[in-house]
Amino acid sequence: MGSTSTVATESAYANERVLSADPLVEKGIGEEAMITVTLPYIHSAREGVSYLGNIVEKFGASETNGVLFSDQNEVWYMEIATGHYWVAQRIPDDAYAVVANQLAIQTIDFDDQANFMYAPKISNFVDKHKLNVSHYEFNFRKIFGTQESSDEIYSTPRVWYGQKYLTPAVEQDPMSEELPFIQRANRLLHNDDLEYVLGSHFQGTPYDPLVNGSSSAKKFRPISLAKTQESHILQLRPDLPADISGLHWLAMGVTAQSIFVPFYAGMTDTHPAYQKGSDTYSHDSAYWRYKLLGILVDSHYKKFENKLQAWQKELRTSFKTRVRQSDLAASSLPQHKLSSFLTKASYANAQFGLDKVDELTAQLITETTELSPLNFKTDENL
């Protein structure tokens, strides 16, 4: 590829009006195939949108999806709503978007080719079937998306909290269907901010189930769930050569109780513990080792919260240092040695994280023994 590009997908839902006019295609492209059939053949994020859009128009889509394309210059978010209709919007360099299993793109400016792309006949399709709920704008979310009570419990609160954390000056309602797709932060964002949002559970609000035992605390679906298997941050750094630029920060298990480990996109193999795992616990699996830590913290959260947070802070600092050092070393290597070096650096990061999670797990197991209701202290007079 001419430049480093990334693709990521998520599930979303369209309403019955648009699906009745253009049903999903059973044998059309699905989420599981999009990266495979798109990423090897594109050179930029914009080209990725066009390439996948052509596939959807020709062969159809089997499900409603959001697809994020990024390169070192642009970020595009594409939404495939029905069997053959899609739109995409460029996320401005000074902005961000939080999307939570909903169609999120709002007003489409058909005259702004620099920031919007779309299926060629989408406007005619909407007019033909009288699908537009507005007389003055083409709001993709309102035309194609869902605005149901389940959205206001499952999805919009996650968008609300992400925007609340990144742009705290903006007052919004967690159940609002009008939360903006494009938002701007009140500060320069770093990985720390993204890790916080991805691991969030409504901290600092009445809806945090970890500190509030009332029923209201379980009203909304948090971003970090007990059933989360893994969480990702895909980082492209334009100031570095393409082979070094890409980092995949990966947190296994419950995001709120895990840590993001950096892997270079230029690696050719990964740690054996990241290649193993089933639905039954086994110590040779990275997923289960991080999951075990979360289970131990859950059992006595108030007791272990500070230890977990101190551990996460220590590892975030350590991984940042390790990345700085390996970036510097990689920058001075000849091309034919880069892949081997980046693979070894990624392997070492994985092993460092596993060693640290094992250390904290051992400590918590030891301390949990003292917290057992079957623990008994003999009276010193006996």
Q: Angle at CA 201, nearest 5°, toward 196 and 207? A: 140
Which stretches in the chain have pLDDT values below 50?
1-3
Phi and psi angles of residue 37, each rounded to the nearest 5 degrees, phi first: -90, -5
Taking only the tens place, the pLDDT of each residue in 271-310 is 999 999 889 999 999 999 999 999 999 889 889 999 999 9
pLDDT score at 3: 47
Least Cα distance to 259 among 215, 196, 213 occurs for 196
Name, in order, each residue with C-beta under 8 angstroms of 378's C-beta and a sequence gap of 6 or more.
none
At 373 the pLDDT is: 83
Contacts of 108-114 with CB under 8 Å at 24 or more apart are: 108/138, 108/139, 108/140, 110/138, 114/90
| Helix intervals (H) in 225-300 | 242-245, 286-299
pLDDT score recorded for residue 35: 92
pLDDT of residue 375: 78
Residues 6+ apart with CB under 8 A from 373: none
Q: Rounded to a whole number, what is the largest CA-CA distance in the chain? A: 89
What is the model's pLDDT at position 216? 67
The pLDDT tens digits of the residues spanning 223-265 come to 999 889 999 999 999 999 888 999 999 999 999 999 999 999 9
SS3 content of the chain, % helix, strand, coil (to 5): 45, 15, 45
How much is the pLDDT for 374?
82
Question: Cα separation of 45 and 172, whole Å?
Answer: 31
Q: Where are the alpha helices (DSSP H) in 173-246?
A: 191-198, 242-245
Q: Which two tokens stand for residue 379?
A: 């009276």
H/E element, 146: none
Residue of 80, 134, 130, 132 whose CA lies nearest to 103? 80
At 135 the pLDDT is 84
130-147 residue pLDDT tens = 999 888 899 999 999 999
pLDDT confidence of residue 211: 80
DSSP β-bridge partners for residue 231: 251
Which among 258, 251, 358, 354 is positioned nearest to 298, based on CA atoms? Answer: 258
Reading the block at residue 123, the tokens are 């406007």
pLDDT at 212: 72
- Helices 45-59 and 31-38: angle between axes, nearest 10 degrees: 120
